[in-house]
Amino acid sequence: MPISGLGKVDKTYDGSNLKIGIVHARWNAEVISALVDGAIARLKDMGVKEENIVVMSVPGSFELPFGTKTLFYQEGKKLDALISIGTLIKGETMHFEYIADAVSHGLMRLQEEIHVPVIFGLLTCLTEEQAQARSGLTKDGHNHGADWGSAAVEMATKWKGARN
């Protein structure tokens, strides 16, 4: 039996009163830049003011949990949601699996610790071509950064509603 509304946002969320942080890795710069641009564009489309979007970079994906926590505390705990953006492309060693696992668990623990939504923006791709497609750099690709921007506004809005 199909689930009604699966994959669709059945409500328009207003980000005009939100402050969103984005932390991104610098590794795989072309893909990361497209993803960050996609997230920022979607945040603005949903009403988040440019001055309420704070962006910080870290060297690589492994540093995303600590960088995200650092940005949260630097902003005086005024952020309503955070988006952590990185890209991992599988190579010939186990490095990919270890980093993906560590970052996934680190970001999950972080949102539980700080009680603020942390959007998981880590692409885990088998090839460079997959990363380019998932960042909207190919003709038939889709920029997942935009999806992460939508998720940040939706989750921040729900969290603010739950706190009030």
Burial class (CB in 10 A: 0-12, 13-18, 19+), 75: middle
DSSP 22: E
Going from the C-alpha of 57 to that of each of 33, 68, 112, 159, the distances in angstroms are 11, 9, 22, 25
Handedness of CA 29, 34, 39, 45 (dihedral sign): positive
Catalytic site includes residue 142 = no
Helix H or strand E segment including 45: helix 29-45
Chain centroid, CA 53 distance in Å: 13
Helix H or strand E segment including 133: helix 128-134
Residue 83 identity: I
Q: Annotated catalytic residue: which of 95, 105, 142, 144?
A: 95
Positions annotated as catalytic residues are 95
